[in-house]
C-alpha cells in the first residue's frame, strides 16, 4: 500500500513538473531555443489596452499585434491564450461579455493577419483579474487590457 502511494505521488510530481515547464515558457529548463524563448517573451510581454466600455483595437496597437502575428506564424507549435480584462467600474456580468469582446477583437485581428485560429484561444476574466489595484483613470487604464499567454509550445 505504501509503495503504491509512493509511486502515485512520484508520478504526480513528475506530471506537475512537466506541466510547469510547458505552461510558463521562459525561465525553465524546457528545451526551448533562445530564439523561441525570446519570441515567447515578445508575444506575452506587450499588452493591448482599450478605452472605457470599448473593444476596438486602437491604431497604436496594430503594429504590436502584427509583430505578435509574425512570431506566432513562425513558431507554429505555439498556442496563445488571449485574456480579455476590464476595469473595476462596470458590473461583473457585463464586463465578462466586454472582456470576451476585447479578447475576440485581438483574436480576429491576428487571424486577419494570417494566424491559424487553431493556434489561438480566448478567455474573459471581466474585472476579476486586475493587474493594478485602486481607483482613478491611471489604474483603470492599466486594467482595460488584453493579456497574451503562451499556453502550449
Partner 1 sequence: MKKILLFMTLALWPACESAAYAALRVDIYGPGQNIVNLALATPIKGPQAEASGMGQTLQHLVEQNLNILPFMRLTSPNAVLGGTLMAGYEPPNFDFKRFQLAGSDIVVTTFWPGGDSGTKAVQMRVFETNTGGRLFGKEYPNVTTRDLPEVADRFCADLLEALTGNGAFFRSTIAFVKKTGTMSANVWLIKPMGRDLRQITNMPGEALSPAWSPDGRFVVFSHIDQKSHALGVWDHSNNKVQRIRFPGNVVIGPAFMPDNKVAVALSNGKYPVIFLLNHVFQKERVLEQSEAINVSPTFDRTGTKMAFTSSRMGGPQIFLKDLNNGSVTRVSRNGAYNSEANLSHDGTLVVYSRMTDFGHRIFVQDMVTGMERQISFGPGSDEQPSFCADSYFIAFASSRGGGRGIYLTTRHGGDAKQIPTGGGPASFPRWNTPAAQK
What binding mask, one character per residue, do residues 80-119 give for partner 1 by CB under 8 A, x or -? ---------xxxxxx-xxx-xx-xx---------------
- Residue 123 binds to partner 1 (criterion: CB under 8 A): yes
Minimum Å gap between C-beta 124 and partner 1 is: 6
Minimum Å gap between C-beta 37 and partner 1 is: 22
Q: Distance between CA atoms of 85 and 102, rounded to whole angstroms?
A: 7
Contact 122, 82 (CB under 8 A): yes
Residue number with CB closer to partner 1 (21 or 67) = 21
* Phi, psi at 37, each rounded to 5°: -65, -40
Query: For 60, which DSSP code?
Result: G
Minimum Å gap between C-beta 45 and partner 1 is: 19
For partner 1, the binding residues in 7-66 under the rule CB under 8 A are: 53
Q: Distance between CA atoms of 134 and 144, rounded to whole angstroms?
A: 13
**Residues contacting residue 111 through CB under 8 Å, at least 6 positions apart:** 117, 120
**Residue ranges that bind partner 1, judged by CB under 8 A:** 53, 89-94, 96-98, 100-101, 103-104, 122-125, 128-130
Amino acid at each position: 500500500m505504501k509503495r503504491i502511494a509512493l509511486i502515485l505521488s512520484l508520478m504526480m510530481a513528475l506530471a506537475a513538473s512537466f506541466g510547469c515547464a510547458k505552461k510558463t515558457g521562459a525561465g525553465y529548463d524546457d528545451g526551448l531555443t533562445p530564439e523561441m524563448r525570446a519570441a515567447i517573451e515578445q508575444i506575452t510581454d506587450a499588452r493591448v489596452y482599450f478605452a472605457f466600455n470599448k473593444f476596438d483595437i486602437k491604431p497604436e496597437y496594430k503594429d504590436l499585434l502584427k509583430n505578435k502575428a509574425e512570431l506566432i506564424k513562425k513558431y507554429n507549435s505555439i498556442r496563445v491564450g488571449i485574456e480579455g480584462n476590464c476595469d473595476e467600474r462596470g458590473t461583473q456580468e457585463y464586463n465578462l461579455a466586454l472582456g470576451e469582446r476585447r479578447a475576440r477583437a485581438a483574436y480576429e485581428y491576428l487571424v486577419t493577419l494570417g494566424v491559424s485560429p487553431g493556434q489561438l484561444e480566448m478567455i474573459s476574466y471581466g474585472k476579476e483579474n486586475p493587474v493594478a489595484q485602486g481607483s482613478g483613470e491611471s489604474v483603470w487604464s492599466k486594467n482595460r487590457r488584453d493579456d497574451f499567454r503562451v499556453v502550449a509550445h
